[in-house]
Amino acid sequence: MAEEELSLFYVASGPEGRDRLLEGCLLGDVHTDAHALVVLRNPQLTARTVEDNNIQPTRSRRPASNMAANSATPPSDRRFLIFFDFDETIVDESSDDVVVQAAPGQNLPGWLKDTYRPGHYNDYMQRVLAYLGEKGVSESAIRSVIEKIPASPGMLALFQFLRHRPPQDFEVVLISDANTFFIESWLHRVGARQLFAKIFTNPATFDTHGRLVLRPFHTHGCLRCPDNMCKQVIVRDYVLRRTQERGRPFQRVFYVGDGANDFCPSLVLGPRDTAFARRGYPMHRLITEVHEARPGEFKAVTVPWTSGEDVVERLRKHVEDN
């Protein structure tokens, strides 16, 4: 088996949430440790998790049938898989911050701001949305401020590039700690909803009183991520499931993000894959720190971006080379 037939997806685990990254594997007969998951680029072989010392990778505690915002199985002929974050990646601001513009006086009271606890941001946003409901902020008012969020530089050009590629090129997936209402509202406004085969985010729906009710996406055991969402779990599970459904892995996996919660999923990318980290943002800084402190441990190719055009340039090279 040739070396290029291997794609490695690394799994973080352990009591301190440290990443023990695989140094290598034996070609032909997979040999690895408890922290590594190896996908063989061979249609006759399935992805497997290698376990040792009873150490289990972080798992989602959300039923598989509820994992995606849209349940239809994407076509199986796509060559590449690309994941996008939403806040400060697709859009140039945080939608959770922008929604405050719909509040009376475009501000939140101090007592509400003081309820935030690190690692429990979803709980905090539930209270924020409940407050907006109590103040009579309507669905249309919330939608209006969300729809006005500007796209990140070059992002709509990136969407156009993906939309006009042959259909067998890219399977496009969105993973965000925002919520379904914010994301769907914005994507529909710019005409980009159909680009995404799947959307993984926190569910949010209006109740009978017209209040937007937010719920957590899932629970998990990752010590690095907020309690309602670990994007690494989502990426790993999705790649495994799609590999099984397709009977073969994707040629390459790409991840476009900006935040600290986008660093965690980038750890499961292999050396053939690419982490597009927004330049100067937490994801970029964390990857840089790993490169400097432990050279060789972060396996994916890292491409900093300031514009979606930077992503287009690299993707165009891959589709032409393959």
Per-residue pLDDT at 89:
99
Percentage of the residues of the chain whose pLDDT score is greater than 70: 77
Q: Residue 26 burial by CB count (10 A; 0-12/13-18/19+): exposed, middle or buried?
A: exposed
Q: How confident is the model at residue 61 (pLDDT cuts 50, 70, 90)?
A: low
Query: In the structure, what pLDDT confidence band is assigned to residue 223 with cuts at 50, 70 and 90?
Result: confident
Between 225 and 92, residue with greater pLDDT? 92
171, 197 Cβ separation under 8 angstroms: yes
| pLDDT tier for residue 28 given thresholds of 50, 70 and 90 | very low
pLDDT digits (tens, 9 = 90+) for 151-197: 999 999 999 999 999 989 999 999 999 999 999 999 999 999 999 99
Q: What's the rounded Cα separation, in Å, for the pair 176 and 86?
A: 6
pLDDT at 74: 82
CB 109 within 8 A of CB 132: no
Query: Which of the two residues, 121 and 185, has the higher pLDDT score?
Result: 185
Lowest mean pLDDT among 60-74, 117-131, 146-160: 60-74
For position 20, what pLDDT does the model report? 32
Using the CB atoms, write b or e for 277-303: b if 16+ within 10 Å.
Answer: bbeebbbbebbeebeeeeeeebbbbbb
Question: Which of 19, 85, 96, 273 is flagged as catalytic?
Answer: 85
The average pLDDT across 65-94 equals 82
Per-domain boundaries in the chain: 55-91+151-321
87 counts as catalytic: yes
- Name the CATH architecture for the domain at 55-91+151-321: 3-Layer(aba) Sandwich (3.40)
Residue whose token pair is 């396996």: 299
- β-pairing, 80-84 vs 252-257, is parallel
pLDDT tens-place string over residues 226-244: 887 999 999 999 999 999 9
pLDDT band at 322 (very low <50, low <70, confident <90, very high): low
pLDDT category of residue 71 using cuts at 50, 70 and 90: low
pLDDT band at 39 (very low <50, low <70, confident <90, very high): very low
d(CA 218, CA 237): 13
Q: What is the spatial distance between Cα 263 and Cα 260, in angstroms, rounded to a whole number?
A: 5
Catalytic: which of 29, 77, 87, 114? Answer: 87
Q: What per-residue confidence (pLDDT) applies to 254?
A: 98
Q: Name the token pair of 267.
A: 């750890």
Q: What is the mean pLDDT of the chain?
A: 81
Specify whether the CB–CB gap between 83 and 254 falls below 8 A: yes
85 has catalytic annotation: yes
Asked if the model's pLDDT at residue 41 lies above 60, the reply is: no
Mean pLDDT of 240-253: 95
Whether the per-residue pLDDT at 67 is higher than 50: the answer is no
Give the global pTM.
0.79
Q: What share of residues in the chain are helix, strand, coil (percent, to 5)?
A: 35, 15, 45
| 275-296 per-position pLDDT tens digit | 999 999 999 999 999 999 998 8
Q: Is the pLDDT of residue 88 over 70?
A: yes
Residue partners of 117: CB distance under 8 A and separation at least 6: 123, 124
Q: What is the pLDDT of residues 295-312, one digit of tens each?
A: 888 999 999 999 999 999
Name the nearest CA neighbour of 78 among 177, 172, 149. Answer: 172
